[in-house]
Structure 1
């Protein structure tokens, strides 16, 4: 049996991922990045670093608990960095890492799509609801 290099082993493992399988780690990653708060936080950080309070103001409806949990999860996944500047009061900035920036374009595109096509989706919902109300 031929010996594989580390790069070959990584490539083989990468090809073995199947996000359709619940037990696959990529399934869990897709679950994380498809969260609405993740999409909004990543999109909000795309222009550059921001403080927690700036993010809280920018993202309507996010509770302090959810924002904190989302930022911690993104930091754990290597998508966001947290920088503490010792001052009075302490300053904490959040920024996308290069990995997070590579995801940012995709999530921002989804956000932009939703903003562009909401009227069409809303009209489709109304047609669907009206058609199904007659059936009931």
Structure 2
């Protein structure tokens, strides 16, 4: 069986060349399209990683309007603020020793916490005044100590 095709005219030869050229161009175009798709996917993946890193940095720098999940546990309010503040005071100050609420709040912040609210120090003061385990020292001195049993 003869695999060679014989063409009758020069027009047939020209069409055969055109066919082969077009077939090669289609193959090259498909290969280029595949490479471009792979590159686009790589760039999209990299952009998603960079966006994630950007959001993390915005959170760390305080530029993000939304709180990061890890900061939610560190921003305290209500009863939880009282509990953590009393635990910090018990750990950091000798029994019976008085401490000014500003210093106490600094100890809380040094432990990695802060009071929730527009004015965190005012929120802190409001909550420690409600804490059962704490008593004020003197009248309007701003000093507190743990209650003794």
TM-score, length basis structure 1: 0.26
Higher helix content, 1 or 2: 1
- Which protein has the larger Cα radius of gyration, Structure 1 or Structure 2? 2
